[in-house]
Amino acid sequence: MTGPDSELDPAGRVDWLRELIHEHNQAYYERDAPIIADADYDLLIRELRFLEEAHPDLITAESPTQSGVGGSPSEQFSPVEHRRRMMSLDNAMDLEELRSWGDRTARRLADLGNDSTVRYVCELKIDGLAVSVRYENGRLVQAATRGDGRTGEDVTANVSGISAVPQTLGAGAPEVLEARGEIYLPLDSFQALRERVIAENVELAAKGNRQKPVPVNPRNAGAGSLRQKDASVTASRGLSWWCYQLGEIIGAEEPPAHSAALGWLGDMGIPVNPETKVVEDLDGVYEFCAYWIEHRHELPYEIDGVVIKIDDLAIQQALGATAKAPRWAIAFKLPPEERTTTLLDIQVSIGRTGKATPFAVLQPVFVGGSTVGMSTLHNEDQVRHKDVRPGDTVILRKAGDVIPEVVGPVLELRPSGLPEWQFPKNCPSCAEPLIRHEGEAQHLCVNPLCPQKRWASICHFASRGAMDIDGLGEQQIASFLELGLMSDVADIYSLQAEPILQLPGYQQLSVQNLLSAIEASKSRPLGNLLFGLNILHLGAAGGQTIAAAFGSLDAIMAASVEDLSAVAGIGPVIAGSVYSFFSEPLNQNLVGRLVAAGVNTVGPERSLLDQTLQGKAVVVTGSLAGFSRDGAAAAIKERGGTAPGSVSKKTFAVVIGQEPGASKLTKATELQLPLLNESEFLHLLETGQIPTTSHDQEAPT
Which residues carry out catalysis?
125
Nearest to 341 by CA among 372, 368, 370, 380: 372
DSSP-assigned beta bridge partners for residue 243: 181, 272
CB 276 within 8 Å of CB 124: yes
Distance between CA 248 and CA 83 in Å, rounded? 7
State residue 655 phi and psi, 5-degree precision.
Answer: -95, 125
Distance between CA 245 and CA 237 in Å, rounded? 25
Report DSSP state, residue 625: S
Query: Which residues lie below 8 Å from residue 454, measured CB to CB, with a gap of 6+?
Result: 481, 487, 488
Q: How many CB atoms lie within 10 A of CB 11?
A: 12
Nearest to 140 by CA among 113, 172, 173: 173
CB 531 within 8 Å of CB 538: yes
Query: Which residues lie below 8 Å from residue 243, measured CB to CB, with a gap of 6+?
Result: 133, 179, 180, 181, 262, 265, 270, 271, 272
Nearest to 35 by CA among 448, 418, 408: 408
CB 240 within 8 Å of CB 270: no
CB 257 within 8 Å of CB 70: no
β-strands 370-376, 355-367: how paired? antiparallel
Cα angle 340, 342, 344; round to 5: 150
DSSP-assigned beta bridge partners for residue 230: none
CB 239 within 8 Å of CB 184: yes
Q: How many CA atoms lie within 13 A of 170 on its CB side?
A: 8
DSSP-assigned beta bridge partners for residue 446: none
CB 86 within 8 Å of CB 158: no
Distance between CA 613 and CA 357 in Å, rounded? 39
C-alpha distances in angstroms, 425 versus 377, 385, 419?
Answer: 17, 19, 17
Q: Is 15 helix (H, G, I), strand (E, B) or coil?
A: helix
C-alpha distances in angstroms, 324 versus 65, 70, 86, 359?
Answer: 8, 11, 10, 43
Query: Which residues lie below 8 Å from residue 143, measured CB to CB, with a gap of 6+?
Result: 131, 132, 133, 134, 154, 155, 156, 158, 159, 160, 165
Distance between CA 79 and CA 156 in Å, rounded? 12
Nearest to 646 by CA among 624, 678, 617, 681: 617
